[in-house]
Amino acid sequence: MKISLTLLTLSFSFVIFSQDWEEKASLPAAAIERHHPITFTIGGVAYLVTGAKPGAGVLKDFYSYDMDTDTWSTLPDFPGQARGFSYGVSTNEKGYLGFGLYENEDTFEYFSLNDFWSYEPISGEWTELTPCPCISRWHPAMVQVNNKIYVGLGGSEFGDLKDWWEYDIETDTWTEKEEFPGTERHHPYYFGIGDDVYVGFGHHNSFIFNDFYRYNPATDSWTELGTFPEQGRVAGTQFSYDGKGYILSGQGETHTNLPTGEFWEYDPSDDSWTELLAHPGAGRWAPGSFVIDGFAFFTCGEANAGEQKDLISFALTPSANIEEITSELEIYPNPTHGKIYFKSDEKWNNATVEILDATGKLVDQTTILNQTINLEKLQKGVYLLRIKGNNTVRVERVTVH
């Protein structure tokens, strides 16, 4: 089936970047406000599950968010132990979560977890995986790169930790790796860029840090980077997109919410930080975030007025507030088993196509030759094609089966 698209292209001389946060649909009315939601994106759809709220305890409810319709859907509850202070990641095909704290309903005591789960959106099924052979923990770092998931640091009944573990998605096995070189800590910030993992900041005893480190999985080694240019921080949210890392909101060195919802971009090419537009209001403790098609979304967390369940977004890519130029372009088939065909006017001849996965990571780059590109070597999933023609750019979503 051919899909004919009338495209709004982006003229480089007129590009304007969005400088506003936009309010979106809050979680459903029946959903409880919370901190520590687990958030991840699969195939252009965002998911939010579990979390905690004083008085309501730990949670196991589950929701999905559709950006195109700005609507939430209520899904069946997570089948594992209700939890808070836990984290999750995703690939193009599945979501993963684990660790955190659960509450004993009889004694109201909290206990830590080391279990691990995957979620497959097509079937809607959760699968319990091999638990980590490490110490159970809460507030760890958790990052997915190159079909591996890395987990480490965090708090435990034995105190803060600095061990580092690799989970192999293909074999469902865990391997202990070189430990984190800084002070043990919980509630750090973290993200993956390219083949590397970045971890830093966080909390240990009375100290809140601003140090920052890179982990290289290929050499199983850590490198200390430059310190963050502002005060230390803890308990915010983070993500990566298009070769850069982002940290958002949280608490400062006094362990109180930052006065503004600070938003920073990290560039690994020169180990530098750039401050972006803060989200509205003060900072929040333990919010969640996710990325869909170049838009960052921020939700939940504990604000000065208590837990929240709102949703706001920020455009990480150029906005459409520019000169409008229409260009007819046909892309087919979509979904595809490998090849994508283009039928277009001359401005798209020999256009460069950057291929990004659902998290915004650049996975390949090619050129339109004979009105064709080949995606056969990609894994199944949803991808963004960033098509760069003659002074024009267009981003389109395609599904590879």
Evaluate if residue 11 carries a pLDDT over 70: no
User: Are residues 330 and 310 both part of a single domain?
Assistant: no
Of 389, 262, 377, residue with least CA distance to 325: 389
Last residue of a domain, one of 258, 285, 315: 315
User: Are residues 309 and 355 both part of a single domain?
Assistant: no
DSSP letters of 133-200?
Answer: SS--BBS-EEEEETTEEEEE--B-TT--B--EEEEETTTTEEEEEPPPSS--BBS-EEEEETTEEEEE
User: Are residues 299 and 373 both part of a single domain?
Assistant: no
Which CATH number goes with the domain that contains 366? Answer: 2.60.40.3080
Question: What's the mean per-residue pLDDT of the chain?
Answer: 89
Q: What percent of the chain has pLDDT over 90?
A: 72
Last residue of a domain, one of 315, 334, 352: 315
Weakest-pLDDT range from 133-147, 245-259, 378-392:
378-392
User: Are residues 304 and 327 both part of a single domain?
Assistant: no
In angstroms, how far is the first alpha carbon of the chain from the final one? 15
Count of domains forming the chain? 2
The Cα 235–Cα 240 span in angstroms is 17
Instruction: Please state the pTM of the whole predicted model.
Output: 0.81
Q: What is the mean pLDDT of residues 24-38?
A: 97
Partner residues linked to 35 by β-bridges: 52
User: Are residues 111 and 43 both part of a single domain?
Assistant: yes
User: Are residues 159 and 71 both part of a single domain?
Assistant: yes
Q: What is the mean pLDDT of residues 46-74?
A: 96
User: Are residues 310 and 331 both part of a single domain?
Assistant: no
Q: What is the pLDDT confidence band of residue 327, given thresholds at 50, 70 and 90?
A: low
User: Are residues 227 and 281 both part of a single domain?
Assistant: yes
User: Are residues 395 and 259 both part of a single domain?
Assistant: no
Domain range for 297 is 17-315
Last residue of a domain, one of 299, 315, 331: 315
Residue whose token pair is 């560039």: 267
Residues in the chain: 401
User: Are residues 340 and 206 both part of a single domain?
Assistant: no
User: Are residues 234 and 109 both part of a single domain?
Assistant: yes
pLDDT, residue 21, reads 95
